Structure 1
Amino acid sequence: MDRTTNLLITVLLAVFLVGLGTAGYMVIEDWTIMDSLYMTVITLSTIGYGEVNPVSQPGRIFTLFLIVMGVGFFLYVIGNVVQFLVEGRIRLILGRHKLDKQISHLSNHYIVCGYGRMGRALCRYLIQKGLKFVVIDKNEDRIPVMNTDHVLYISGEATNEENLVKAGIRRASNLITALGSDSDNVFLVLLAKGLNPNIYVVARASQNASKKPLDTAGADVVVSPFDIGARRMAHAILRPGVIRFLEHAFADEDTDIHIEEIPVAKSSKLVNVTLRESNIRQDYNLIILSIIQKDGEMQFNPSAGTTIGADQRVIAVGSSDSLRRLEVALNPH
């Protein structure tokens, strides 16, 4: 039975008992409505201020009946309150246990620190891509939002080592710091790299002065939303066609043109095959924009004679279906 139904039943019972008692005294004792109502209320509440008028034998029997009904009613109310508190606590404990169990089974996942506007928007994109992630956020007001969004989360400070360990940082592949304070982001990067030196960290910088400390702390990529926004506005004026193309390429819900970065596994049949021989352009209807070498060097617009190597990463543009087929070819599981 839900809360609304319980509340409705409680109100109806209270109205019924008060009405029954008032009507009973009016009929049995021939009292006025105010005297009957007063006697009913003090009887049901077991206050016992005394009888307003002398009570006859039938009236006393009716009063005993009313007292029993009143005690039963209050026991019902107390039972509902206790049930609500206990069930709520049990539900909270079981829900937390389920979340912790799911988090403990994750590996090669993402950890998103902060579920504000930026963090939530980022998580939506990760969900679209089918990626596994855990959120760490200290704001308890955001717990209902995270529950509604069906994300795995840990409520607490992201700069707390225990919370990072609970989030599986030693098994995670990426960490994204989207905290509101740059000093917290710097400390978080240092702590994360200390717990997992191989984790790939993307850090948010609210101020330009924070970029160097974040880079020094070990962040692999430092992103300034304000700088990106300013450059985006400038390019919208200077290169509107380019911006329109990039928006189409990254707006998943509006178009079927996408840009993806695909790692090349050693088991791929395309390893040590040139782009011309791979027939990627003909078989997958894709354009190879760049190939990233093992050392991070980026080769833009590779020629047809360029050889695909293991542990490289290929950046391609095309439809989502074609990109998925290329990913299977380059990185078979």
Structure 2
Amino acid sequence: MPGSRPETTGSRPEPGPLPPPKRARLEEHEEETRLRRRAGALGRMARLGFFGAEDTSPEAVTFHGHRVEQSSQIVIPRISPGPLRQVVRRLAMAIGVLLFTTIIVWLDRDGYNDNAGGSLTFVDALYYSTVTLSTTGYGDITPASEAARLVNIFIVTPARVLFLIILVGTTLEVLTERTREQFRLSRWRSSLREHTVIVGYGTKGRSAVQTLVSRGVPHEEIVVVDPDPRVIEGANSDGLVGVVGDATRSEVLRRAEVQRARQVVVTAHRDDTAVLVTLTARQLNKRATVVVAVREEENVPLLRQSGATTVVTSSSAAGRLLGLSMLSPHVGRVMEDLLSYGQGLDLMERPVVKAEVGKAPRELPDLVVAVLRGHRLLNYDDAELGALQAADRLITVQRAEG
């Protein structure tokens, strides 16, 4: 009605549109929350038995299936004898020093006085050596001649010091072990840059490590993360640094220095674990290349949205290779050869050299199958490819060296 004021009771002014940066951050946060909820739902369904038996078999035990402490542990490989061997070796050295001293004293037995009277027997020499090396010194047997005293000065006394060092060495080693480990860990952290983090050291993880090592990646630049201490022991045996812990936790990945890694390989046994690990790794490192192995094809888009650079569907890829081998065994053999580095033919990536700029891929001596131009992967016969550019990278098939 004219002259009436608009009704305002119980109403609020509608908020205006958010600025683009805030809206983008809000959408990104909502998307990440949705991905984490979906991954958590997948994990709960797996624990309730909604997945097949192959996902709950002992070989398919994942990070959620292990009871892992919240704190993780970094294990650096080292070559050292076992504790029993060290004890036996130290005991043998102590007995050797004792027998050596006993023989020296017994050979010069005429230069010693025994308060009990009579000449020294071998047992007396052993007794004297024992109480002398252990710094007990009852005084019932003493060196009397000048030669015996010189033997005590230049032979028995150094033997006593050596004997004590051997016996106390075990205690000193225990006391200094922690200091040495802290020093080695600090030196490892300071030298670790642009490395590769392997999450999961099962069949896929081991194969990934073997491929990296065969391509010339040093063992020192590979860090394995797994919740099972026995698996990490196996990684140490292979010369790799291991971190014991759940890779879905950011503190565990920080111990693996994932924030400074060049690439991260995720080979979890379940897709929900792979999603959480990928989200955590991408949150800590925005620039790293994250390669993820999944079991189900339908989870590939989810992994890409989680931040994975490359997603490999292990079960589908194996099935396609099996089908191809059935239709054409020779083609399947060639594909297997290409996937095995160092044997027969290898797929290689290399930059374009100066002499190749402006040429077509088919004009090169190497067999070019694809060209990486910027962020686009072009097949060798792509109409948009044209002449090669200086910034291009070539995917070629070459004969394995050696």
Q: Which residue of 2 aligns with 1:31?
A: none
Query: What is the RMSD computed on CA atoms of the aligned residues?
Result: 4.1
Kindly indicate whether the alpha-carbon contact (under 8 Å) linking 1:288 and 1:301 is maintained by their aligned counterparts in 2: no
**TM-score, scaled to structure 2:** 0.55
> Is 2:308 the partner of 1:228?
no
Q: Which residue of 2 aligns with 1:139?
A: 228
> Is 2:402 the partner of 1:318?
no
Kindly indicate whether the alpha-carbon contact (under 8 Å) linking 2:250 and 2:280 is maintained by their aligned counterparts in 1: yes
> Is 2:5 the partner of 1:5?
no
- CA distance in 1 between counterparts of 2:182 and 2:283 reads 31
> Is 2:370 the partner of 1:280?
no
- CA distance in 1 between counterparts of 2:316 and 2:181 reads 41
Q: Which residue of 1 aligns with 2:338?
A: 249
**TM-score, scaled to structure 1:** 0.64
Letter in 2 for 1:258: D
**Structure 2 unaligned residues grouped into runs of 5+:** 1-80, 101-115, 118-123, 137-162
- Summarize the alignment of residues 12-161 of structure 1 with structure 2, pairs less than 5 Å apart: 68=131, 79-103=168-192, 106-107=193-194, 109-131=195-217, 132-161=221-250
Q: Which residue of 1 aligns with 2:372?
A: 292
In the TM superposition, what is the alpha-carbon distance from 1:112 to its structure 2 partner?
A: 1.6
**Structure 1 unaligned residues grouped into runs of 5+:** 17-56, 322-333
Q: Which residue of 1 aligns with 2:287?
A: 198
- CA distance in 2 between counterparts of 1:80 and 1:295 reads 60
In the TM superposition, what is the alpha-carbon distance from 1:13 to its structure 2 partner?
A: 8.8
Cα 1:77–1:172 change in 2 (3 A) is closer
SS in 1 for 2:376: coil
Aligned residues: 271
Letter in 2 for 1:274: K
**RCO greater where, 1 or 2, for CA within 8 Å and sep 6 or more?**
2
- CA distance in 1 between counterparts of 2:367 and 2:364 reads 8
SS in 2 for 1:307: coil
Between the two proteins, what is the percent identity of the paired residues?
21
SS in 2 for 1:236: helix
In the TM superposition, what is the alpha-carbon distance from 1:189 to its structure 2 partner?
A: 1.0
Letter in 2 for 1:296: R
Kindly indicate whether the alpha-carbon contact (under 8 Å) linking 2:222 and 2:241 is maintained by their aligned counterparts in 1: yes
Cα 1:209–1:259 change in 2 (3 A) is closer
- CA distance in 2 between counterparts of 1:195 and 1:90 reads 30
Kindly indicate whether the alpha-carbon contact (under 8 Å) linking 1:288 and 1:302 is maintained by their aligned counterparts in 2: no
> Is 2:338 the partner of 1:258?
no
In the TM superposition, what is the alpha-carbon distance from 1:308 to its structure 2 partner?
A: 0.8
- CA distance in 2 between counterparts of 1:204 and 1:288 reads 27
Q: Which residue of 2 aligns with 1:20?
A: none
Q: In the TM superposition, what whole-angstrom CA distance separates every residue of 1:50-100 from its partner, at most 9, and x where no partner exists?
A: xxxxxxx78xxx8x9799479669978862431342354344333323322
Kindly indicate whether the alpha-carbon contact (under 8 Å) linking 1:114 and 1:137 is maintained by their aligned counterparts in 2: yes
> Is 2:381 the partner of 1:309?
no
- CA distance in 1 between counterparts of 2:318 and 2:91 reads 51
In the TM superposition, what is the alpha-carbon distance from 1:126 to its structure 2 partner?
A: 0.6
Letter in 2 for 1:201: V
Letter in 1 for 2:312: V
Q: In the TM superposition, what whole-angstrom CA distance separates every residue of 1:286-323 from its partner, at most 9, and x where no partner exists?
A: 111122333424224468x93112443321112346xx
Letter in 1 for 2:288: I
